[in-house]
Amino acid sequence: MATLGDIGLAAAINIISALIFLVAFAILRLQPFNDRVYFPKWYLKGLRHSPTRSGAFVAKFVNVDWRAYIRFLNWIPDALKMPEPELIDHAGLDSAVYLRIYLLGLKIFVPITLLAWAILVPVNWTNSTLTKSDFTYSDIDKLSISNVPLGSLRFWTHIVMAYAFSFWTCYVLKTEYAKVAAMRLQFVASEKRRPDQYTVLVRNVPPDADESVSECVEHFFLVNHQDHYLMHQGVYNANKLAKLVKEKKSKQNWLDYYQLKYSRDQSKRPMMKTGFLGCFGAKVDAIEHQIAEIERLTKEIAEEKQRVEKDPKSTMPASFVSFKSRWGAAVCAQTQQSRNPTLWLTEWAPEPRDVFWNNLAIPYVSLTIRKLIIAVAFFFLTFFFMIPIAFVQTLASLDGIRKKAPFLKVIIDEPFIKAFIQGFLPGIALKIFLIFLPTILMMMSKFEGWLSISALERKSASKYYIFTIVNVFLGNIIAGAAFEQLSTFLNQSANQIPKTIGVAVPMKASFFITYIMVDGWAGIAGEILRLKPLIFYHLKNFFLVKTEKDREEAMDPGSVGFNTGEPQIQLYFLLGLVYAVVTPFLLPFILVFFGLAYVVYRHQIINVYNQEYESAAAFWPDIHGRIIFALCFSQLSLLGLLGTKHATQSAPFLIALPVLTISFHLYCKGRYEPAFTKYPIQEARMRDTLEQAREPNLNLKGYLQNAYVHPVFKDDDEDEDEDFMMKLETDSVLVPTKRQSRMNTPVPSKVSAGSSPSLPDAVIHEH
């Protein structure tokens, strides 16, 4: 059990580590040759130029201005200067709202911390329950609810504080939900024109023996949306083609590398082995081999394009359908299209940058099966993962080391080593073990078949959050492997589970304090240093970069990483709300995390991260829901804990609190969530009216023509791609239908769906 001394040592280690990271960053960012690593966003926007281009030779690599080192901490006020509206213009609404999660943590926990330390800490400290008992305890426990005697009237203070903390949290959540919903609607209303505003994704197009998918789609929308349908773009299974294009690009990069290497030393031709990872196989001339491979892949790419063009099986029963107005798209996306609710399924199309093209080729009927498979796999991953984590945690404890390595007993009994093991090692061991988890969860989400990058990240974040609760929170609170926990819960009555958790919560406060310091202090400070992108950039810059374009590609700006960052934040909300009443000593550590993370990520979003997509803060309902879950969990665990404290007179007053919290959540869900799932028809009509007044001659068809063409058909390096795209467009040419139902179509389509006149225009021309 960690003491205050152990916590102090862990705090010192993590504070020193964080300061080293921050000072190293402050110095490295001043060096001209690191400019692209720490300010890549400005280079991508074309607003910054390399300082290594001019000046003396030394000044190109090292900042020789001594005054800059005096102001080396200026990045902190600079990160806070940019106002939020400007930040939205600069980085997008997703990034700006993501930062508001950290502000939300500060808004919730600053008043709670002050109130808890002013009222609860004195109430807990001024007892002598633990002193008179035979239990092993630390000074931290004397500040917790564990120090209050059984049946004490002082538990009324904890109940009143639980109500106060819950009401305050709900008030802040409601205020923030309303603010973010208003920001989203304002952003959508004021945003520049985007293809997804006019486009819906249609899936599960029913097969027809007489018509192609493209003909079927145009027929359906000319009949059912005759005044608003504009065009459509088919969805093709181009996954194999995408792999070939990716492989060719890789071969081209290796060719560039070997040619650059040869140009530097022409006395010897570069050689390589053709086997696995270049370690086995025949030794050949590297340049000639890569040229031959590129020629082979070019031929295969051309053949695959022809196959996609001619093979009907390459056309998926789905399509991106565009409309003449936002109003028409909104009506289509938010209504049922046919009598059979499983056919002609429509949803808002993701913006083109957000589309995850690989999953468009997955048949709709297989999605349910895929999700079931992943649900089972995730269940076993969550509970089996606890076994190695428990093993690592055991080795990171004094008893575990004594059992596994008894010869180290003399060393680990030294006060400093003992404090290091108890106060630092468990947190860092858990942090290291969780490094590979996000990659696994993202692969699982991709297998499920989600169609956009933003949806993939949100679903991965949900899995990560569940995993974190089970393995990081419950796994460390309740002793034993996860299957033992599951068995314990299954064999208990429902009213005993809160007691089991509640009793264990105060005992693990010291572990979570060390975890917060490792993950939330040193970890956040390490994020701003960007050590991995720094090393990889200089390696690429030295070995591969020949042109300015190569140098841009060598930059790795990264992104916010919602799938990993958001569940991490939610763990701190859970810990803060659970321990606010039970062990208030933990709260200041939470505040340091939220404050430091807000400054660091604001700097990264302004200068570094380049968000791949813009979902207009579609993730906020998930944020709200998880904080509500954390709040209910904290209330139930406190109720269970008080049940073991013989507080029979006061504990029942807590029963109403989860009910009130859930009622509040349902109110917010009904009041604010529609702003994140639907597009108001009124807003759509208003935008269309303004656009028609400002741009009466807008060629919307030309704007949308190639917006949703698969990226492999947009390769600017190959001239034949333009011809292929034209062929794809002419695939949509319709001939008079063979089906009798086609007689319901007012005007037969005679030209490409991508360039055909709209239906009313065609009628006018005929008359």
Give me the mean pLDDT over the 675-699 stretch. Answer: 90
Q: What strand order describes the sheet that includes 229-236?
A: 229-236, 315-323, 199-203, 345-348
pLDDT digits (tens, 9 = 90+) for 201-214: 999 999 888 888 99
Q: Which residue has the higher pLDDT, 655 or 140?
A: 655
Q: Are 36 and 534 in contact (CB under 8 A)?
A: no
Tokens of residue 360, six digits = 């468009």
What pLDDT shows up at residue 124? 87
What pLDDT shows up at residue 327? 95
Note the pTM of the prediction, 2 decimals. 0.82
What pLDDT shows up at residue 398? 54
DSSP string, 307-369: HHHH-GGGEEEEEEEEESSHHHHHHHHTS--SSSTTSSEEEEPPPGGGB-GGGGGS-GGGHHH
Q: Which residue has the higher pLDDT, 499 or 193?
A: 193
Range of weakest confidence among 11-20, 94-103, 714-723: 714-723
| Phi then psi dihedrals of residue 88, to 5 deg | -65, -45
Q: Mean pLDDT highest for which of 69-78, 242-251, 546-555, 593-602?
A: 593-602
Range of weakest confidence among 114-118, 298-302, 549-553, 675-679: 549-553
Q: Which residue has the higher pLDDT, 696 or 274?
A: 696
Range of weakest confidence among 376-380, 509-513, 645-649, 702-706: 645-649
What pLDDT shows up at residue 480? 42
Of the chain, the percentage scoring pLDDT greater than 70 comes to: 80
Range of weakest confidence among 65-79, 413-427, 598-612: 413-427
Q: Which residue has the higher pLDDT, 523 or 758?
A: 523
Of 426, 424, 431, the residue nearest 395 (C-alpha) = 426
Per-residue pLDDT band at 669 (split at 50, 70, 90): very high
3-class DSSP state for residue 480?
coil
What pLDDT shows up at residue 336? 94
What pLDDT shows up at residue 629? 96
Range of weakest confidence among 571-585, 607-621, 640-654: 640-654
What pLDDT shows up at residue 324? 94
- Alpha-carbon span 458 to 92, nearest angstrom: 17
Of the chain, the percentage scoring pLDDT greater than 90 comes to: 41
Contacts of 701 (CB under 8 A, 6+ apart): 230, 231, 754, 755
pLDDT digits (tens, 9 = 90+) for 222-270: 999 999 999 999 888 888 998 999 899 888 888 888 888 888 788 888 8
pLDDT digits (tens, 9 = 90+) for 639-649: 888 888 877 78
Give me the mean pLDDT over the 676-704 stretch. Answer: 91
DSSP class of residue 387 equals: H
- Alpha-carbon span 604 to 610, nearest angstrom: 9
> How does the average pLDDT of the chain come out, rounded?
82
> Is the confidence at residue 756, as pLDDT, over 50?
no
pLDDT digits (tens, 9 = 90+) for 317-357: 999 999 999 999 999 999 999 999 989 999 999 999 999 99
Range of weakest confidence among 186-200, 259-273, 379-393: 379-393
Q: Are 454 and 615 in contact (CB under 8 A)?
A: yes
pLDDT digits (tens, 9 = 90+) for 711-753: 888 754 444 444 444 444 444 434 344 454 443 444 444 333 3
Contacts of 367 (CB under 8 A, 6+ apart): 448, 449
> Is the confidence at residue 382, as pLDDT, over 90?
no
> Is the confidence at residue 463, as pLDDT, over 80?
yes
Q: Mean pLDDT highest for which of 303-307, 604-608, 762-766?
A: 604-608
Per-residue pLDDT band at 461 (split at 50, 70, 90): very high
Per-residue pLDDT band at 547 (split at 50, 70, 90): low
The helix (H) or strand (E) run that includes residue 73 is: none
What pLDDT shows up at residue 267? 81
- Alpha-carbon span 354 to 5, nearest angstrom: 49
Of 529, 528, 531, 518, the residue nearest 597 (C-alpha) = 528
Torsion, CA 378, CA 382, CA 388, CA 393, rounded to 10: 150
Per-residue pLDDT band at 145 (split at 50, 70, 90): confident
- Alpha-carbon span 398 to 420, nearest angstrom: 10
Torsion over CA: 581, 582, 585, 591 (sign) = negative
Give me the mean pLDDT over the 471-497 stretch. Answer: 61
- Alpha-carbon span 318 to 310, nearest angstrom: 17
